[in-house]
């Protein structure tokens, strides 16, 4: 199967799923799962190949698809997360309206993302980018009501990004005469640094908006809050990473390592790094203030994107490997967390962290998987997030960027705070009586979260499996190859051996378990037998994590408003007011239009006479 056939099957599969839904919902659901899983097989078979195919000619310009190690890694992540989301949707979306439309849009988003990472020319790239963007808009707006506002916010910013991309494409075509990535890459070194910087800025606006990097992040929290939870896993796990792919494509494939490091006196890639650091710190602590679980995870996604871009932009091989590995890891543990929260919402009907608690007793598998996801998010040892964050920290320290290293470490401290809030408020503490009859998540919800949990742990203990692929990508961009072993990575400053860390942690856990066995046995007490500062806590108010961070919130909330979002809303009001006033000119009365013409001619006559007199 060649690349064009792969994309065609994905596209036709989306529309066929829609048509099958008109006949039978069961056939539609089965086919949606089948087609999404089927595409994983040819993608795996493409590993290590360097296939290129011209599938069409548009106005004399070839439309090209190509598989590279970079596009293969992104394509596998895209297809895997989408397939798990489709499986999760079988139960989560059951009984909802317009499901034919939902599966059509979800599979079209998947087609768009696959097309983006497999494109080898800018026309193909733009077409698939728009397929992805508009399908995403329709999915964000799926639940209507407030979701329409979130969808409009997203699509307005996406249109701005698309306009920026169009300007860049036209400029490159006029100056280069081609939109083939290979020919553009050979053209860029021959042009001026000012023009190269201009092109990079245009495309960085496009990719920054999709990647939700500051100051283009404001659409993401609303989008996550309103989108269906299975799609939130795709949105956070892989869709916003299309911006990451774009950054890598233009910074290293097209512009090249030497140009990126030297352009603007070395300030360009460092400026991107500063924006990434800002993207880490502020969203991290805004997440602490959230009481909606999905909104908390949305702000967390923005912050984690900061780590990815920081590693990629810093301009070292170790940082690049860490950044790309963190993309892969974030796709796994953030999709895991969104699906876990979706399972909780499915069984309880709420995402309000102040209304939950104690669900570990009712949903133990969901709890355990969510805990693994949180450990990966924080960067705990034996999870994949630990390895990628360790590589980024080390790259920043060895690269003598103490400020950026401090920001990255400080962001992890904030991650611990909101991650504790998420896990404790949902699963720990006392179980409210209204949830006493809550059951475990359905099998189709448990399968995806268990699979993703295994990915987080396996690639945390044996990180060399994906790191070998990422190091190949890094070396192709001109970075020094890293000493990768299946259990970790070695460097001049020491060896990261996850097998040894696993053995040490396992021994420590055995020791703690033995101590626990030697302790006193547990005593069962009444559910409402709890106290706060010595005072009896009334019945149904025993979840003491409600407003757990209220003192901290009081101190930091005035400084953690999303001022960028406030500015965008103010700008929108100004434009709306100006448009309303301008619209009054076009009243539909012919007499007014004739008056405008006469007035315009009179002004021209006066100007003409004035110029003669002068």
For residue range 117-155, what is the model confidence (pLDDT) as tens digits? 999 999 999 999 999 999 999 999 988 888 888 888 899
CA 384 to chain centre: 17
Statement: residue 358 has pLDDT above 80: yes
**Average pLDDT for 327-341:** 94
Neighbours of 411 (CB within 10 A): 23
pLDDT at 612: 63
Answer yes or no: are the C-beta atoms of 233 and 84 closer than 8 Å: yes
Outline where 192-316 has alpha helix (H): 193-211, 219-226, 229-234, 241-248, 257-262, 267-288, 293-313
The half-sphere exposure of 377 on its side-chain side, counting CA atoms within 13 A, is 34
Statement: residue 481 has pLDDT above 70: yes
Of the pLDDT bands very low, low, confident and very high (cuts 50, 70, 90), residue 327 is very high
Overall residue count recorded for the chain in this entry: 614
Statement: residue 265 has pLDDT above 80: no
Tokens describing residue 183: 């020919």
Question: Which of 288-292, 328-332, 572-576, 606-610 has the largest mean confidence?
Answer: 328-332
The helix or strand, by DSSP H or E, that contains position 606, with its residue range, turns out to be helix 590-613
Identify how many contiguous H helices and E strands the chain contains and give both numbers. 25, 7
Tokens describing residue 354: 């102040």
Of the pLDDT bands very low, low, confident and very high (cuts 50, 70, 90), residue 41 is very high
Name 344's Cβ contacts closer than 8 Å, sequence gap at least 6: 293, 351, 356, 359, 363, 366, 426
Statement: residue 72 has pLDDT above 90: yes
Statement: residue 526 has pLDDT above 90: no
pLDDT at 377: 94
Statement: residue 47 has pLDDT above 60: yes
3-state helix, strand, coil in the chain (%, to 5): 75, 5, 20
Of the pLDDT bands very low, low, confident and very high (cuts 50, 70, 90), residue 101 is very high
Round to whole Å and give the CA distance between 238 and 502: 29
Furthest CA-CA distance within the chain: 107
**Average pLDDT for 69-80:** 94
Predicted TM-score of the model (pTM): 0.88
Tokens describing residue 487: 């259990």
**Average pLDDT for 528-547:** 58
Task: Tell me if residue 58 falls in helix, strand or coil.
Answer: strand
The mean of the pLDDT values for the chain is 86
Residue carrying the six token digits 């974030």: 330
Statement: residue 391 has pLDDT above 60: yes
Statement: residue 459 has pLDDT above 60: yes
Among 69, 49, 36, 70, which residue's Cα sits nearest to residue 2? 49
Round to whole Å and give the CA distance between 99 and 109: 15
Least reliable range by pLDDT among 296-305, 327-336, 344-353, 535-544: 535-544
Give Cα separations from 275 to 259, 305, 385 (angstroms).
20, 11, 21
**Distance separating the N- and C-terminal Cα atoms of the chain:** 76
Residue carrying the six token digits 């990629």: 312
Tokens describing residue 27: 């056939």
**Average pLDDT for 224-250:** 90
Does 367 sit behind a cis peptide bond, omega within 30 degrees of 0 on the bond before it? Answer: no
**Average pLDDT for 56-71:** 87
Statement: residue 541 has pLDDT above 60: no
The domain ranges of the chain are: 265-519+539-548, 568-613
pLDDT at 85: 95
**577-599 pLDDT per residue, tens:** 887 777 766 666 666 667 777 88
Task: Tell me if residue 130 falls in helix, strand or coil.
Answer: helix
């Amino acid at each position: 199967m060649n690349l064009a056939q792969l994309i065609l099957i994905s596209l036709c599969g989306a529309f066929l799923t829609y048509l099958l839904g008109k006949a039978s919902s069961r056939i539609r659901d089965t086919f949606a799962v089948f087609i999404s899983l089927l595409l994983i097989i040819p993608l795996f078979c493409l590993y290590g190949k360097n296939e290129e195919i011209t599938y069409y000619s548009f106005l004399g310009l070839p439309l090209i698809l190509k598989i590279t190690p970079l596009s293969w890694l992104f394509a596998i992540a895209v297809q895997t997360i989408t397939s798990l989301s489709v499986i999760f949707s079988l139960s989560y979306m059951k009984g909802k309206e317009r499901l034919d439309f939902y599966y059509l849009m979800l599979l079209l988003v998947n087609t768009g993302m696959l097309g983006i990472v497999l494109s080898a020319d800018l026309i193909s790239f733009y077409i698939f980018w728009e397929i992805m963007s508009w399908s995403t808009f329709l999915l964000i707006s799926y639940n209507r009501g407030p979701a329409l506002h979130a969808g409009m916010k997203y699509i307005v910013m996406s249109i701005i990004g698309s306009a920026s991309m169009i300007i860049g494409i036209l400029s490159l075509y006029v100056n280069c005469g081609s939109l083939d990535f290979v020919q553009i890459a050979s053209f860029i070194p021959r042009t001026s640094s000012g023009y190269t910087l201009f092109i990079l800025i245009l495309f960085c606006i496009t990719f920054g908006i999709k990647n939700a990097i500051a100051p283009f992040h404001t659409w993401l929290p609303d989008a996550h809050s309103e989108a269906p939870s299975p799609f939130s896993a795709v949105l956070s796990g892989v869709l916003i990473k299309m911006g990451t792919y774009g950054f890598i494509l233009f910074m290293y494939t097209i512009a090249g390592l030497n140009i990126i490091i030297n352009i603007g006196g070395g300030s360009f890639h460092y400026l991107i790094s500063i924006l990434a650091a800002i993207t880490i710190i502020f969203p991290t602590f805004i997440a602490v203030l959230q009481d909606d679980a999905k909104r908390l995870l949305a702000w967390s996604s923005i912050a984690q994107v900061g780590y990815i871009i920081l590693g990629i932009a810093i301009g070292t091989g170790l940082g690049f490997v860490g950044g790309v590995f963190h993309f892969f890891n974030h796709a796994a543990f953030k999709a895991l967390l969104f699906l876990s929260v979706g399972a909780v919402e499915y069984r309880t009907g709420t995402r309000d962290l102040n209304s939950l608690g104690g669900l570990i007793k009712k949903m133990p598998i969901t709890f355990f998987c969510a805990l693994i996801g949180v450990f990966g998010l924080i960067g705990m040892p034996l999870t994949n997030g630990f390895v990628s964050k360790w590589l980024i920290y080390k790259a920043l320290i060895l690269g003598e960027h103490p400020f950026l290293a401090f920001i990255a470490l400080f962001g992890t401290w904030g991650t611990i705070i909101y991650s504790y809030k998420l896990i404790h408020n949902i699963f720990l503490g006392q179980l409210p009586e209204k949830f006493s009859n809550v059951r475990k998540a359905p099998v189709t919800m448990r399968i995806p979260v268990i699979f993703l949990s295994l990915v987080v742990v396996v690639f945390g203990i044996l990180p060399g499996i994906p790191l070998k692929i990422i190091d190949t990508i890094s070396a192709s961009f001109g970075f020094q190859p890293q000493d990768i072993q299946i259990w970790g990575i070695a460097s001049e400053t020491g060896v990261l051996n996850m097998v040894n860390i696993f053995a040490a942690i396992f021994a420590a856990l055995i020791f703690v378990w033995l101590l626990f066995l030697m302790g006193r046995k547990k005593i069962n007490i009444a559910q409402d037998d709890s106290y706060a500062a010595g005072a009896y806590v009334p019945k149904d108010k025993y979840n003491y994590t409600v407003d757990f961070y209220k003192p901290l919130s009081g101190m930091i909330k005035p400084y953690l408003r999303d001022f960028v979002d406030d500015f965008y809303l103010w700008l929108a009001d100004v434009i709306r007011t100006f448009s309303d006033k301008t619209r009054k000119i076009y009243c539909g009365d012919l007499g007014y239009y004739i008056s405008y013409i006469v007035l315009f001619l009179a002004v021209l006559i006066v100007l003409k006479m004035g110029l003669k007199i002068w």
